[in-house]
Amino acid sequence: MEGKARNAPALLFLSLTCVFLSLSTLTLSTSPQFQTLTINPLPEKPTLSWADTEPESETQTLSDSTSSDASTTTSLSVQLHHLDALSSDKTPQDLFNSRLTRDASRVRSLTSLAAAVGRTNGTRARGPGFSSSVISGLAQGSGEYFTRLGVGTPARYVFMVLDTGSDVVWIQCAPCKKCYSQTDPVFDPTKSRSFANIPCGSPLCRRLDSPGCNTKKQVCVYQVSYGDGSFTYGEFSTETLTFRGNRVGRVALGCGHDNEGLFVGAAGLLGLGRGRLSFPSQIGRRFNRKFSYCLVDRSASSKPSSMVFGDSAISRTARFTPLVSNPKLDTFYYVELLGISVGGTRVPGITASLFKLDSTGNGGVIIDSGTSVTRLTRPAYMALRNAFRVGASNLKRAPEFSLFDTCFDLSGKTEVKVPTVVLHFRGADISLPASNYLIPVDSSGSFCFAFAGTMSGLSIIGNIQQQGFRVVYDLAASRVGFTPRGCA
Min mean pLDDT across 50-64, 90-104, 251-265 is at 50-64
pLDDT digits (tens, 9 = 90+) for 215-242: 999 999 999 887 667 789 999 999 999 9
| Residue 126 pLDDT level (bands cut at 50, 70, 90) | very low
Angle subtended at Cα 164 by Cα 163 and Cα 170, rounded to the nearest 5 degrees: 45
Angle subtended at Cα 469 by Cα 464 and Cα 475, rounded to the nearest 5 degrees: 105
Angle subtended at Cα 288 by Cα 282 and Cα 290, rounded to the nearest 5 degrees: 85
Min mean pLDDT across 71-75, 189-193, 330-334 is at 71-75
Look at residue 368 and tell me whether its pLDDT is greater than 70.
Answer: yes
What's residue 252's pLDDT?
97
Catalytic one among 103, 167, 368, 474? 368
Look at residue 72 and tell me whether its pLDDT is greater than 70.
Answer: no
Say which residue, 46 or 426, is predicted with more confidence.
Answer: 426
Q: How far is CA 186 from its chain centroid?
A: 27
**How far apart, in whole angstroms, are the C-alpha atoms of residue 142 and residue 269?**
8
Paired strand residues for 298:
none
**Measured over all CA atoms, what is the biggest interatomic distance in the chain, rounded to whole angstroms?**
101
Look at residue 63 and tell me whether its pLDDT is greater than 90.
Answer: no
Long-range CB contact pairs, 206-214, < 8 A, 24+: 206/125, 207/125, 207/126, 207/252, 207/276, 207/277, 208/125, 208/168, 208/236, 208/277, 209/124, 209/125, 210/125, 211/236
**How far apart, in whole angstroms, are the C-alpha atoms of residue 453 and residue 403?**
9
Paired strand residues for 259:
232
Q: Return all residues near 391 (Cβ < 8 A) that are at least 6 apart.
A: 33, 34, 342, 343, 418, 419
What's residue 104's pLDDT?
86
Q: Which residues of 241-268 are buried (b: 16+ CB within 10 A; e: fewer)?
A: bbbbbbbbbbbbbbbbbebebbbbbbbb
Q: Please report, in angstroms and rounded to a whole number, the separation of the first and last CA atoms in the chain.
A: 67
Catalytic one among 103, 163, 297, 442? 163
Is 358 assigned a catalytic role? no
Paired strand residues for 197:
237
**How far apart, in whole angstroms, are the C-alpha atoms of residue 122 and residue 109?**
18
pLDDT digits (tens, 9 = 90+) for 264-273: 678 999 999 9
Which whole number is the average pLDDT over 202-222?
93
What's residue 122's pLDDT?
40
Please check whether residue 183 is in contact with residue 265, taking contact to mean a CB–CB distance below 8 angstroms. Answer: yes
Which DSSP string corresponds to 45-84? PPP--------GGG-EEEPPTT----S---EEEEEEEEEG
What's residue 299's pLDDT?
63
Is 89 assigned a catalytic role? no
Which whole number is the average pLDDT over 143-164?
90
What's residue 137's pLDDT?
29
- Residue 442: name the closest of 96, 119, 60 by CA: 96
Share of the chain above pLDDT 90, in %: 57
Say which residue, 341 or 87, is predicted with more confidence.
Answer: 341
What's residue 382's pLDDT?
98
Element (H, E) at 108: helix 92-120
**How far apart, in whole angstroms, are the C-alpha atoms of residue 156 and residue 154?**
7
Angle subtended at Cα 309 by Cα 269 and Cα 271, rounded to the nearest 5 degrees: 20
**How far apart, in whole angstroms, are the C-alpha atoms of residue 409 and residue 159?**
38
What's residue 61's pLDDT?
57
Min mean pLDDT across 48-52, 127-131, 245-249 is at 127-131
What's residue 136's pLDDT?
30
**How far apart, in whole angstroms, are the C-alpha atoms of residue 147 and residue 304?**
10
| Residue 328 pLDDT level (bands cut at 50, 70, 90) | confident
What's residue 448's pLDDT?
97
Mean pLDDT of all residues belonging to the chain? 83
Paired strand residues for 407:
398, 448
Element (H, E) at 25: helix 2-29
pLDDT digits (tens, 9 = 90+) for 278-289: 999 999 888 999
Look at residue 456 and tell me whether its pLDDT is greater than 60.
Answer: yes
Which whole number is the average pLDDT over 56-85?
60
Say which residue, 125 or 355, is predicted with more confidence.
Answer: 355
Cα separations in angstroms, 272 against 78, 133, 333, 380: 14, 15, 10, 28
What's residue 110's pLDDT?
84
Share of the chain above pLDDT 70, in %: 80
Q: Return all residues near 423 (Cβ < 8 A) that are at least 6 apart.
A: 337, 340, 429, 430, 432, 461, 465
